[in-house]
């Protein structure tokens, strides 16, 4: 395991430990829970109907009763560019409340290891590319997701503060844009990949074109959620430091090119149409994944394969997936 000073110690062993995956119904949490089944740990989960993570007393009671030894904090309000831009209060309040309650209770109950998940949008909107961890707080945030980014920055700083003040082994990972089975396919709230998949499915059926928001020129890096889950388990075992660590593929693609790939996978024949009234957001978001690569972890899923697999999942879950909202 790599620690503060870069020194190596024995990996943190998950086998036999009680591991709470907060947010296990979401795309990320469910992938992490699937991956954790391979580690021999005892996975703990709780449904939203039983526990609202924004309720501090409820979180304290649930954690005191179930006593997780490890926490993966994958619960969050997430959404695409439009949801972020139009519902900043929800993104700030929900995320600040969830992470504050869980991190503080984890400290009070002596949780041995906690992984906080952030997002590449914590970095400035015009940060030099690729974005290293040292780009944090060096410039203004991208306005379309400022609220979410502020909440996530507070979360990673909170994890680091509890490390420093109380010696807690709390770490933070910053994943790039994610996709995969179990994503949110609601057209107003979702990220670009599920939105384009749903629109492509419907365009294929109707013979229409695939509608793409913005100019198609912004570039994004996309990581399959199973790769993220694998990285989470790797980091729990091998990472222990104040600084957040980036998780991505190190490669990006223009949105127009991504849309062409999805159109091809879905068999859309009428081409693309661009909605110039919709925002582009950041011109480019590519992470520098050098620190994670140096520790020995790399993403495995080629984008085209991951898209094809996710599209097959969406086709078979069309009726339920399109009704899921974030």
Q: How many chain residues touch ligand GFB (CB under 6 A)?
A: 27
Cβ-based nearer residue to ligand GFB, 68 or 80 = 80
Q: Does the protein bind ligand GFB through residue 278 (CB under 6 A)? A: yes
Give the residue, chosen from 23, 26, 68, 80, that forms a contact with ligand GFB under the rule CB under 6 A.
Answer: 80
Task: Kindly state the helix (H) or strand (E) to which residue 117 belongs, with its residue range.
Answer: strand 113-117
Q: Do the Cβ atoms of 122 and 138 come closer than 8 Å?
A: no
Tokens 């009671």, located at residue? 61
Cβ-based nearer residue to ligand GFB, 68 or 306 = 306
Please, which of residues 201-220 interact with ligand GFB by CB under 6 A?
212-214, 218, 220
Q: Does the protein bind ligand GFB through residue 280 (CB under 6 A)? A: yes
Give the residue, chosen from 76, 111, 136, 192, that forms a contact with ligand GFB under the rule CB under 6 A.
Answer: 192
CB of 259 to ligand GFB, least distance (A): 7
Query: What are the residue ranges of helices labelled H in 109-224?
Result: 146-166, 192-206
Give me 155's structure tokens.
């979360």
Sign of the four-CA dihedral 189, 194, 200, 201? negative
* Interatomic CA distance for residues 213 and 255, integer angstroms: 9
Give the residue, chosen from 2, 59, 81, 114, that forms a contact with ligand GFB under the rule CB under 6 A.
Answer: 81
Q: Do the Cβ atoms of 255 and 212 come closer than 8 Å?
A: yes
Q: Does the protein bind ligand GFB through residue 22 (CB under 6 A)? A: no
Catalytic residue, from 93, 107, 123, 148: name it: 148
Cβ-based nearer residue to ligand GFB, 24 or 284 = 284
Q: Do the Cβ atoms of 306 and 251 come closer than 8 Å?
A: no
Cβ-based nearer residue to ligand GFB, 121 or 160 = 121
- Contact window for ligand GFB (CB under 6 A) among 49-57, 186-194, 200-208, 306-314: 186-194
Please, which of residues 40-59 interact with ligand GFB by CB under 6 A?
none
Could you give the string, one character per residue 126-155, with x where binding to ligand GFB holds by CB under 6 A and - elsewhere?
------------------xx--x-------
Q: What are the DSSP calls for 247-306, one per residue?
A: ES-S--EEHHHHHHHHHHHHT--S-EEEETTS----SEE-B--HHHHHHT------HHHH
* Interatomic CA distance for residues 77 and 252, integer angstroms: 25
**Annotated catalytic residue 107:** no
Q: Does the protein bind ligand GFB through residue 88 (CB under 6 A)? A: no
Q: Does the protein bind ligand GFB through residue 27 (CB under 6 A)? A: no
Task: Kindly state the helix (H) or strand (E) to which residue 42 belongs, with its residue range.
Answer: strand 42-44
Q: Do the Cβ atoms of 2 and 238 come closer than 8 Å?
A: yes
**Residues forming the active site:** 148
Binding site for ligand GFB (CB under 6 A): 80-82, 84, 119, 121, 144-145, 148, 177, 190-192, 195-196, 212-214, 218, 220, 255, 278-282, 285
């Amino acid at each position: 395991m790599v620690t503060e000073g870069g020194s190596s110690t024995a990996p943190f062993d998950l086998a036999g430990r009680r591991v709470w995956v907060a947010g296990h119904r979401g795309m990320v949490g469910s992938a992490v829970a699937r991956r954790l089944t391979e580690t021999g740990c005892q996975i703990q989960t709780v449904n939203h109907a039983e526990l609202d993570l924004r309720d501090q007393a409820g979180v304290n009671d649930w954690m005191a009763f179930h006593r997780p030894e490890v926490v993966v904090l994958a619960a969050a309000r997430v959404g695409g560019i439009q949801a972020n831009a139009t519902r900043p209060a929800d993104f700030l309040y929900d995320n600040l409340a969830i992470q504050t309650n869980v991190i503080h209770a984890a400290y009070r109950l002596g949780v041995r290891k906690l992984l906080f998940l952030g997002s590449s949008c914590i970095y400035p909107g015009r940060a030099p590319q690729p974005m290293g961890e040292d780009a944090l707080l060096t410039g203004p945030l991208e306005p379309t997701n400022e609220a979410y980014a502020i909440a996530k920055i507070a979360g990673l700083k909170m994890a680091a503060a509890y490390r420093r003040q109380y010696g807690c082994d709390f770490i933070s990972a910053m994943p790039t844009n994610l996709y995969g089975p179990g994503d949110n396919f609601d057209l107003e709230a979702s990220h670009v990949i599920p939105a384009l998949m749903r629109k492509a499915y419907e365009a294929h059926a109707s013979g229409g074109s695939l509608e793409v928001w913005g100019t198609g020129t912004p570039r994004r890096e996309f990581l399959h959620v199973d790769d993220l889950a694998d990285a989470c388990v790797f980091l729990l075992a091998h990472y222990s430091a104040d600084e957040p660590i980036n998780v991505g593929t190190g490669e990006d693609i223009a949105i127009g090119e991504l849309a062409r790939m999805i159109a091809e996978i879905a068999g859309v024949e009428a081409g693309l149409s661009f909605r110039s009234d919709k925002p582009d957001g950041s011109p480019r978001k590519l992470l520098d994944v050098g620190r994670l690569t140096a520790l020995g972890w790399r993403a495995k899923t080629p984008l085209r394969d991951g898209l094809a697999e996710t599209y097959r999942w969406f086709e078979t879950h069309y009726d339920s997936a399109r009704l899921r909202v974030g």
